[in-house]
Structure 1
Amino acid sequence: MTEIKHASRGHAVLSASGAKRWMSCTPSARLEERFPSTDTVYSLEGTRAHEIAEQQLRTFLEGKKSKVKYEGDDLRIYDEVLPYIERIKELYAECKKRSESTVMFLETRLDFSNYVPDGFGTGDVILLEDDTLHIIDLKFGKGVRVDAENNPQLRLYGLGAINAFDDLYDFKNVVMHIEQPRLNHSSEEVLAKEELLKWGDDLKPIAQEAYNGDGKFNPGEHCKFCKASGCCKALADYSLEVIDESILDPQLINPVELGPILERIPTIEHWLKAVKEYSINQALAGEYIPGWKLVEGRSLRKYTNDVDVINALHKAGYEDALIFEKKLYGISTMEKNLGKKKFGEVLGDYIYKPEGAPTLAPESDKRPEFKPQQALIDSIEVPEGI
């Protein structure tokens, strides 16, 4: 059995979190090595959320009550990650009810290098329940909803967990969970162990190609988090060569051509932003970009300190009515302040959801199709008696 280790969050060449990208575009993994890894406000916040969750869950497993008092940003992060912590406790209780022998592991290093060269990752929570292996991954971001179905990161973690525990447990199923507390989103995928192992075997040649830096560049929506996207020529070609002038009307875009264009818009928008950011960084590093120069951007005036401003205005004799504005909390904040149950009891009759404005989505989208003509017919009120 592989030694179970408490994980330090390092990075592999073929990371599990970037698996969708290097599986789709095999040369990208080695290309990204040319660019330094940088922490962002969001990544640091996510790391802290994982630390707080682990801290609280370890205390729970020890049968103790947490005595940690969070302040400032830590308190905010704790409040936002608390639904995840409670969800893990709930899952653990459910598993314990079915099998008293259920055990939980936190922040476990998972080795899946028998499928992906040098491959490893960190399992946030692992629950071992007789013939079922649970992998739970915390996603603290709120910009993009992440689903468990066909999620290569979770599947790699599942393979790593099988490597670690398979000789102790006779697993038949692997359940992979995504918990995204700030979007109130939970998702899971259930695979038979043999099905997951088959997926891993099919992945081996792709992973080896990516590790070698071989294969063809394949731009697409998976480029979003690639460190090379701001200067990748393949992505530039993909973004710029949208119109095929050899088909249909060479002067006007035909509806048939709109589909591929709409499909590429998110990637093109990301590419434009990445190119601009890369260009600014190049200029800041002293590189000359012909026809361009660095200038100071526009900025907005800010108070140096809100409390000092309030005190100065009070001292000058101004009333609060000229200093503050009263505004009703938004629905999400109000629901959080009151709690879901009380919110429904007190304000349920005063909440409505207007119809969303028509928007385009792929035909695979699960929402029903909006038909303008039918909507118009449905909106017509027919007087009684006619």
Structure 2
Amino acid sequence: MAEERKHALLSASSAKRWINCPPSARLSETFPESTSDYAEEGTLAHDICELKLRKLFIEPGMPEKTFKTAHNQLKKHGQYDPEMERYTDEYVDYIQKIAYSYPVPPKIVIEKEVHYGHVARDGYGFSDCIILSGTDCHVVDFKYGKGITVSAEENPQMMLYAVGAIAEYGIVFPVERVILHIVQPRTKNFSRWELSASQLQTWSEQTVKPAAELAWEGKGDFRQGSWCDDCFCPAAGTCRFRMEENMAALQKHTDPITGKMIPAELLTNGEIGSILPFLEFAAPWIKKVRAAALDKLLADEDVPGWKLVEGRSNRELPDPDKAYAALVEAGYKKALFYERIPVSLTEAEKLINKDDYNTILMPFIVKPKGKPTLAPKGDKRPPYQKDTTPQEDFGGENQYKEEEKTC
């Protein structure tokens, strides 16, 4: 099971950040390590995955009693939810499909500490699952979170895991093909990306190595980007560079003295398009600044001009049955206070097994067309079509099923 792990300065999980913003590595060192309920929930789900894979591939002779004892111990965790079983089973099924696709049982390692110090000083990370067979190297990462959809394509974390795996096992397995997988079952995200071992080596030498040297020395240029929030940079809300860059962008459209918007004719489409990328960075930055201010006030520090007040709360009935029983006793009809409504689709999924979901419930499910939303031109989703048929929208009945079968 996963133990308390110390993160490397140039960790794989934060690689997207320190590759793009090298000074952030040393800057992050000045912050204490923190955790959250979401992080603990993810760690627990990973522990369940590890136990199931260990029984299946690493210790196939594990007595059922030993497995159940360990499993029951994990269930006692405060973050445990029965739905974890279904999602972790999906991950295990995904690993099985890869493993069973080879005529000879491949080498499988789980929760493996991999080192890539030859391209990033003292660099290491923990890979969820590595599968090696012949000239193939699969790196699979389980993501339990559902807030950010993670892609395997050009994913620095996954690529560094692969660099470390090849460094350790390359003598036995002459890897030519590297396949990266993200399994994020709660968002139904199963992402796969492939590159050659030579492409991976070129990337590690030309992109990682120079960035890692700068990051280790605390040098290089600060750069704002999605990595500020995707990689949970601890300085995201108090970073001076980020503040100055965002405020400078705002000043382009305001009077530098009064701060008021400069009266002018309406913005052109081109000007609107030029402002939107800034908003993509500014919106999460504003949230992080507010969160940083709240943390400081909660720690009894002074933030000039601001104070803590009690937020809005809603009235509650801690025991509605008891309250309504009193009303019924007073002469009201019980039917007034209770209504029979079907559970949500999400709740129904938790109540039934995967086979019944696919064979019984699936035929009744429809997915309405989503409302149009803004996205950059480079977004991989197809452009929104105003008038299309369901078949055109979703690509046929078995489109997603076929994609999930691919390993």
1:281-332 alpha-carbon deviations (Å, 9 max, x no partner): 222223222222222222223444x4xx424544664665344432222234
Q: 2:212 pairs with 197, 200, 207, which one?
A: 207
Q: 1:138 pairs with 123, 139, 142, which one?
A: 142
Q: 1:245, 1:280 → 2: CA distance?
A: 29
Q: 1:240, 1:140 → 2: CA distance?
A: 35
Amino acid paired to 1:89: Q
TM-score by length of 1: 0.84
CA shift, 1:341, in A, is 5.8
Change (3 A) 1:347 1:193: closer
TM-score by length of 2: 0.80
* 2:99 aligned partner: 92
Is 1:260 equivalent to 2:294 in the alignment? Answer: no
Q: 1:194, 1:349 → 2: CA distance?
A: 45
Moved more, 147-156 or 168-177: 168-177
Q: 1:222-371 residue pairs with structure 2 within 5 A?
A: 222-224=227-229, 225-243=232-250, 244-245=252-253, 252-304=266-318, 306=319, 309-311=320-322, 313-314=324-325, 317=328, 321-335=335-349, 337-338=351-352, 342-343=356-357, 346=360, 350-370=364-384
In structure 1, the gaps of 5 or more residues are 1-5, 376-386
1:7, 1:122 within 8 Å by CA — same for their partners in 2?
A: no
Q: SS of the residue aligned with 1:359?
A: coil
* 2:201 aligned partner: 197
CA shift, 1:362, in A, is 1.4
Change (3 A) 1:349 1:13: closer
Change (3 A) 1:152 1:249: farther
2:21, 2:224 within 8 Å by CA — same for their partners in 1?
A: yes
Q: 2:342, 2:275 → 1: CA distance?
A: 41
Q: 2:126, 2:190 → 1: CA distance?
A: 19
1:250-281 alpha-carbon deviations (Å, 9 max, x no partner): 55432212123222323211111111111122
1:30, 1:210 within 8 Å by CA — same for their partners in 2?
A: yes
CA shift, 1:345, in A, is 5.5
Q: SS of the residue aligned with 1:241?
A: helix
Q: 1:27, 1:230 → 2: CA distance?
A: 16
Q: 1:79, 1:264 → 2: CA distance?
A: 40
Amino acid paired to 1:159: V
Q: 2:358, 2:164 → 1: CA distance?
A: 43
Amino acid paired to 1:227: P
Amino acid paired to 2:292: Y
* 1:153 aligned partner: 157
Q: 2:158, 2:28 → 1: CA distance?
A: 22
Amino acid paired to 1:33: E
Q: 1:167, 1:158 → 2: CA distance?
A: 14
Q: 1:75-114 residue pairs with structure 2 within 5 A?
A: 75-95=82-102, 98-100=103-105, 102-114=106-118
Change (3 A) 1:249 1:22: farther
1:82-136 alpha-carbon deviations (Å, 9 max, x no partner): 21122222222223xx323x12111111011111111000011111212211111
In structure 2, the gaps of 5 or more residues are 255-261, 389-407
Q: SS of the residue aligned with 1:108?
A: strand
Change (3 A) 1:239 1:251: farther
Q: 2:4, 2:168 → 1: CA distance?
A: 17
User: Identity of aligned pairs, percent?
Assistant: 35
CA shift, 1:200, in A, is 0.8
Aligned length: 362
1:8, 1:109 within 8 Å by CA — same for their partners in 2?
A: no
Moved more, 203-212 or 325-334: 325-334
Is 1:125 equivalent to 2:133 in the alignment? Answer: no
